[in-house]
């Protein structure tokens, strides 16, 4: 047995040389075989041709002797015709005493061989059919040409395919160098076999490790599935999971209870609308699935009539690491009891506001009516006409004041319609300040900033005017140097009226928007409520803040 490790190492050049040597020997051996074959074929052809000529000469000699023995030309021609039938002679020509005659048989080709013989006073010409002989000669030539061409093609193919034969081994050697180190006296084939074997072993170990990791991941996935199932069962909120096609894959018990669905029905692989029907809830989930967008605490409706529910839903799209859409998760809660409670609270607040308004109106009416009745009773006494007239005038003044209260109340309660257009808020504030110059007196009012908003200029001006009037009264109540700053800001459009009056606390600030809650001795308490109503009609917000002894600040924020 040959020790492969003891053999000298093969380089790429040595490998190519060995392959070329082997193929050269192989091709040379085949070429030698072809040459020997051609030589044998040529020898056989020469032997066949010699044998044929010898036979033809024998026939010609025998025929000439036989024809010479004929008594006359006719007998000679009779014998010649018999010879045509016995031998492969296609023509015999006899010339005797100056007379030439011939007999001819049907020839199979154009190749002939002519032999002449003379005997006494006569001569005979034999014509043989050489078609078969010439065919064998041509066959030999064609075979020799084919063999020679095959040898040349083999050499050319060898030269062309030799690099392709050696290239894979060279590539394997290059790749093997990056996989394993090579010993000093290790042959190429042994190195490749060892590298291949070690690679197979490594792949087997890695396959076993992959199987182990797969089993581990499967176990973790099973644990996660059990935990997920437990979580979905334990959720007090409704849970719906849909796949990338929009079909429901899971819906928990809480969702079935909220939506009044069959607790035992199988809803898997059914569409959202098929399960939830033609409802706002189904539409919101389908839109979130189509747009792959997340919904955050969106309120939708489910059902109809008295059984209609208000659902608060949050959706989360599921995306793979490569960005592929996997499906949708939806968590939702039945907000119907909460909304009913909020509606009841709003109704109670409205009743409370109406009660406070009614109490304020009753207080104003009671005081004014008591004053009017008192003056009328005094007028019934026996007094001088001038004193009676004065008492009646006072009663009339009180009735006029009461009428003013009623007009203000009606103006506050009257429905309003806004005619919105682009309004420059700083310019609107300056117009209000110019109208209030006689009222403001020595109170300094400044307007700063710039902003535009879509608003009804007349109504918004009335609201700002009420705020500025209240600020002027507050500054005068303090008695110090009065200052009112009106600041206008964009984004969003905002008007802020700040004064340096006596200020107010948070509890008082929350009650000032309720009618008849004025702190002024002669105030009706309708200015701020009317301003709030106007701002709300514009879709904006109004806030009042302050600190006792440090002034108050009212902010109107309008939509952009």
The residues pairing with 495 across neighbouring beta strands, listed in sequence order, are 488, 556
pLDDT of residue 4: 42
The verdict on 541 and 431 lying in the same domain is yes
Counted domains in the chain = 4
157 belongs to a structural domain:
no
185 belongs to a structural domain:
no
The count of other CB atoms within 10 Å of the CB of residue 236 is 10
- Residue at which a domain ends, from 93, 113, 137: 137
pLDDT of residue 424: 92
pLDDT of residue 321: 82
CATH code of the domain containing 501: 3.30.565.10
Q: Do residues 60 and 115 make contact, with C-beta atoms less than 8 angstroms apart? A: yes
**Phi (first) and psi of residue 487, to 5 degrees:** -115, 130
CA distance 295 to 260: 23
Which two structure tokens, joined as six digits, stand for 246?
């929009």
The verdict on 243 and 313 lying in the same domain is yes
Angle at CA 215, nearest 5°, toward 214 and 221?
Answer: 85
Q: What b-and-e string marks burial along 15-26, b requiring 16 or more CB atoms within 10 Å of the CB? A: bbeeeeeebeee
The count of other CB atoms within 10 Å of the CB of residue 387 is 12
243 belongs to a structural domain:
yes
Strand pairing class (483-489; 444-449): parallel
**Phi (first) and psi of residue 503, to 5 degrees:** 80, -175
CA-to-CA separations, 347 to 100, 314, 350, 558, in angstroms, rounded:
153, 29, 5, 26
43 belongs to a structural domain:
yes
pLDDT of residue 88: 74
CATH code of the domain containing 311: 3.30.450.20
Strand pairing class (452-455; 421-424): antiparallel
CA nearest neighbour of 309 among 346, 358, 260, 265? 260
204 belongs to a structural domain:
no
- Residue at which a domain ends, from 82, 106, 137: 137
**Phi (first) and psi of residue 450, to 5 degrees:** -155, 135
- Tokens 């069962």 found at: 233
Give the mean pLDDT per block of 10 residues along the chain (560 residues). 43 62 78 82 80 83 80 80 79 81 74 77 80 76 80 77 71 70 66 76 86 80 57 72 85 84 81 85 87 84 79 87 84 84 67 55 58 61 63 65 60 65 91 84 88 88 87 78 89 90 76 62 65 86 85 88
Strands lying side by side in the sheet with 309-319: 270-271, 247-251, 238-243, 325-334, 309-319, 298-302
H or E segment at 453? strand 452-455
| DSSP result, 255-323 | HHHHTT--TT---TTEEHHHHH-SSHHHHHHHHHHHHT----SEEEEES-GGG-EEEEEEEEEEE-TTS
pTM: 0.37
The verdict on 400 and 433 lying in the same domain is no
Per 3-state DSSP, what percentage of the chain is helix, strand, and coil (rounded to 5)?
Answer: 55, 20, 25
Which two structure tokens, joined as six digits, stand for 389?
């007239």
Tell me the residue range of the domain where 551 lies: 421-557
Which two structure tokens, joined as six digits, stand for 47?
């032997």
pLDDT of residue 393: 67
Which two structure tokens, joined as six digits, stand for 554?
């009212």
CA distance 139 to 40: 13
CA distance 427 to 306: 51
The verdict on 328 and 366 lying in the same domain is no
pLDDT of residue 50: 82
How far does the chain reach from its first CA to its final CA, in angstroms? 97
CATH code of the domain containing 347: 1.10.287.130
CA distance 544 to 527: 13
Q: Do residues 87 and 59 make contact, with C-beta atoms less than 8 angstroms apart? A: yes
The verdict on 482 and 381 lying in the same domain is no
Instruction: Say how many residues make up the chain.
Output: 560
The verdict on 361 and 263 lying in the same domain is no
Angle at CA 379, nearest 5°, toward 377 and 382?
Answer: 110
The verdict on 299 and 369 lying in the same domain is no
85 belongs to a structural domain:
yes
- Residue at which a domain ends, from 120, 137, 154: 137
CA distance 309 to 186: 83
The verdict on 430 and 482 lying in the same domain is yes
CA torsion sign for 181, 186, 191, 193 is negative
The verdict on 473 and 494 lying in the same domain is yes
Q: Do residues 158 and 27 make contact, with C-beta atoms less than 8 angstroms apart? A: yes
- Distance of alpha carbon 440 from the chain centroid: 66
**Phi (first) and psi of residue 116, to 5 degrees:** -115, 140
The verdict on 443 and 477 lying in the same domain is yes
**Phi (first) and psi of residue 546, to 5 degrees:** -175, 165
Which two structure tokens, joined as six digits, stand for 49?
């041709």
Which two structure tokens, joined as six digits, stand for 136?
């064998």
Kindly report, residue by residue over 40-67, the tens digit of the pLDDT: 877 887 887 888 888 888 888 888 888 7
323 belongs to a structural domain:
yes
Q: What is the Cα gyration radius of the chain?
A: 63
The verdict on 348 and 327 lying in the same domain is no
368 belongs to a structural domain:
yes
The verdict on 491 and 393 lying in the same domain is no
């Amino acid at each position: 047995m040959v020790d492969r490790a003891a053999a000298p190492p093969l380089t790429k050049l040595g490998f190519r040389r060995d392959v070329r040597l082997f193929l050269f020997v192989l091709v040379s051996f085949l070429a030698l075989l072809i040459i020997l074959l051609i030589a044998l074929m040529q020898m056989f052809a020469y032997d066949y041709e010699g044998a044929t000529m010898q036979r033809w000469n024998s026939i010609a000699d025998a025929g000439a002797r036989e024809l010479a023995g004929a008594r006359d030309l006719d007998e000679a021609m009779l014998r010649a015709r018999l010879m045509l039938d016995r031998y492969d002679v296609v023509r015999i020509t006899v010339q005797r005493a100056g007379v030439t005659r011939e007999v001819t048989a049907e020839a199979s080709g154009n190749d002939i061989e002519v032999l002449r013989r003379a005997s006494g006073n006569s001569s005979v010409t034999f014509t043989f059919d050489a078609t078969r002989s010439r065919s064998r000669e041509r066959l030999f030539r064609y075979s020799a040409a084919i063999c020679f061409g095959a040898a040349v093609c083999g050499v050319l193919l060898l030269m062309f395919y030799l690099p392709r034969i050696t290239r894979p081994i060279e590539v394997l050697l290059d790749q093997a160098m990056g996989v394993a180190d090579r010993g000093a006296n290790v042959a190429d084939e042994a190195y490749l076999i060892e590298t291949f074997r070690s690679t197979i072993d490594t792949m087997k170990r890695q396959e076993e490790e992959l199987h182990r990791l797969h089993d581990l991941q499967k176990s973790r996935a099973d644990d996660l599935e059990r935990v997920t199932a437990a979580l979905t069962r334990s959720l007090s909120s409704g849970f719906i999971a849909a796949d990338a096609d929009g079909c429901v894959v899971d819906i928990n018990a809480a969702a079935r209870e909220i939506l009044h669905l069959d607790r035992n029905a199988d809803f898997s692989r059914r569409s959202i609308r098929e399960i939830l029907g033609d409802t706002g809830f189904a539409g919101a989930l389908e839109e979130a699935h189509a747009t792959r967008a997340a919904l955050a605490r969106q309120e939708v409706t489910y059902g109809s009539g008295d059984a209609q529910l208000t659902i608060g839903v949050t959706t989360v799209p599921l995306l793979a690491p490569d960005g592929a859409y996997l499906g949708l998760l939806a968590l939702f809660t039945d907000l119907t009891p909460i909304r009913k409670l909020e509606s009841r609270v709003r109704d109670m607040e409205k009743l409370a506001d109406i009660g406070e308004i009614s109490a304020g109106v009753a207080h104003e009416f009671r005081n004014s009516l008591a004053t009017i009745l008192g003056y009328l009773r005094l007028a019934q006494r026996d007094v001088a006409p001038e004193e009676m007239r004065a008492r009646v005038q006072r009663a009339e003044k009180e009735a006029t004041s009461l009428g003013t209260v009623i007009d203000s109340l009606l103006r506050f309660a009257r429905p309003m319609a806004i005619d919105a257009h682009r309004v420059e808020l700083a310019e609107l504030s300056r117009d209000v300040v110019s109208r209030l110059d006689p009222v403001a007196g020595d109170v300094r009012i400044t307007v700063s900033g710039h902003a535009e908003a879509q608003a009804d200029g007349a109504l918004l001006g009335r609201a700002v005017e009420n705020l500025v009037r209240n600020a002027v009264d507050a500054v005068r109540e303090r008695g110090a140097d009065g200052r009112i700053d009106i600041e206008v800001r964009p984004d969003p459009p905002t008007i802020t009226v700040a004064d340096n009056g006596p200020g107010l606390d948070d509890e008082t600030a929350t009650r000032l928007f309720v009618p008849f809650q004025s702190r002024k001795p002669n105030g009706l308490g309708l200015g701020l409520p009317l301003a709030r109503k106007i701002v709300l009609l514009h879709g904006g917000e109004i806030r009042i803040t302050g600190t006792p002894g440090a002034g108050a600040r009212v902010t109107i924020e309008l939509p952009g």
